[in-house]
Amino acid sequence: MTSAELLDKFSVFPRDVENIRAAGRMITPQLEAFVEQWYVWLRGQPEYAQFFPDGGNQARVSQLQVRHWQEFFAAEVNDFYVARRTHIGAVHAHIELPNDIYFAGMGRWFQLIIETLRSQGVPADELLDMSVSINKLIKLDTFLVIDTIARIARERIADHSRAMMEMSTPVTPIWEGILLLPLVGIIDSTRTAEIMNKTLTKIAESRSRVFVLDISGVASVDTGVANQLIKITKATRLMGCESIISGVSPSIARTMVELGVSIGEVKTTATLRDAFELALKAVGVVDLGHGHRAGIGH
């Protein structure tokens, strides 16, 4: 969203900009004392000790606060202004500042601004106009910060999900020409798409001839999951790789029959051991114990 769109969204009009700048002319000369008043409030909050142990960094952060409010009262809401507020949101996300203390803090800033303007003798009608305008820009600022925090939180969750998916989808060579993928947990459409991509990529890289898909650790199988797994095996067959689904428990077999899922030419086994034996035969191993292969003399 551009700065112009934000101003329109939060109804910050030229008259509001004039009001904010007029308030700034009264507050800015005493801005450092104004910021210190806010820290008097903050020092009474439990979060202060968490984020400023022994008072460390407060002086530096106070100076940043002074600059922040100088920019606020200048009311030049442009792309630079938006970027600055977005950066504040990123910093707060990094230090994991709770949203409640941020909202409470912004509320305290607004209260201090109005108290300061009232102490300057601003007439009641002018004070009302100023307070409405200031409140609009504070809400715009707050939105930018909280929206950034929420976006970073979503990105972290997505990154974590991708990492977990990588860990939970280990397509592994277990013998020359044989790949194994043991599935554990819940299977959904997103995960099956990832399984498909990783499996086909691994087959192409390793030129494997057999792919064993072990589902003994899958929590449940419904029509959607079963059909997705069948699609994976069909895709591997197109690449010249035979698929075997192992770990088909009695309950899963019964469910697939009741759901009318057609497995076509896909081989299935009850245990991983049985699947491994089929896979070895498919790649030409006839006697695993003595290492003999088909076509090799005694």
Q: What is the pLDDT of residue 184?
A: 79
Residue 115 lies in a domain: yes
Q: What is the pLDDT of residue 179?
A: 94
**Sorting pLDDT into bands at 50, 70 and 90, what band is 160?**
low
Q: In this structure, are 181 and 147 located in the same domain? A: no
Domain of residue 64 covers 3-162
In whole angstroms, give the CA distance from residue 106 to residue 32: 17
In whole angstroms, give the CA distance from residue 280 to residue 261: 27
Model pTM?
A: 0.59
Which segment of 18-32, 113-127, 162-176 scores lowest on mean pLDDT? 162-176
In whole angstroms, give the CA distance from residue 134 to residue 3: 17
Q: What is the pLDDT of residue 161?
A: 63
Q: Match 């792919």 to its residue by tokens.
A: 211
pLDDT exceeds cutoff 70 at 127: yes
Q: For residues 278 and 190, which has the higher predicted lDDT (pLDDT)? A: 278
pLDDT exceeds cutoff 60 at 296: no
CATH of residue 84's domain is 1.10.490.10
pLDDT exceeds cutoff 90 at 183: no
Residue 11 lies in a domain: yes
Residue 88 lies in a domain: yes
Residue 105 lies in a domain: yes
pLDDT exceeds cutoff 60 at 258: yes
**Sorting pLDDT into bands at 50, 70 and 90, what band is 148?**
very high
Q: What is the pLDDT of residue 139?
A: 96
How confident is the model over 19-71, as pLDDT tens digits? 999 999 999 998 888 888 898 998 888 888 888 776 667 788 888 899 999 99
Q: In this structure, are 27 and 140 located in the same domain? A: yes
Residue 112 lies in a domain: yes
Q: What is the pLDDT of residue 173?
A: 87
pLDDT exceeds cutoff 70 at 260: yes
When pLDDT is averaged across residues 191-209 and rounded to a whole number, the result is 88
Q: In this structure, are 101 and 249 located in the same domain? A: no
Q: What is the pLDDT of residue 290?
A: 47
Q: In this structure, are 186 and 249 located in the same domain? A: yes
How confident is the model over 65-118, as pLDDT tens digits? 999 999 999 999 999 999 999 999 999 888 888 889 999 999 999 999 999 999
Which segment of 80-84, 185-189, 261-265 scores lowest on mean pLDDT? 261-265
Q: For residues 9 and 168, which has the higher predicted lDDT (pLDDT)? A: 9
Q: In this structure, are 212 and 248 located in the same domain? A: yes
* Average of per-residue pLDDT values in the chain: 85
Q: Match 């976006």 to its residue by tokens.
A: 151
**Sorting pLDDT into bands at 50, 70 and 90, what band is 294?**
very low
How confident is the model over 202-231, as pLDDT tens digits? 999 999 999 999 988 887 777 777 888 888
Q: In this structure, are 157 and 246 located in the same domain? A: no
Domain count of the fold of the chain: 2
Q: In this structure, are 134 and 184 located in the same domain? A: no
Q: In this structure, are 194 and 255 located in the same domain? A: yes
Q: In this structure, are 44 and 185 located in the same domain? A: no
Q: In this structure, are 125 and 12 located in the same domain? A: yes
Q: In this structure, are 200 and 100 located in the same domain? A: no
Q: What is the dihedral of CA 51, 104, 27, 81, to 10 degrees?
A: 80
Q: In this structure, are 184 and 235 located in the same domain? A: yes
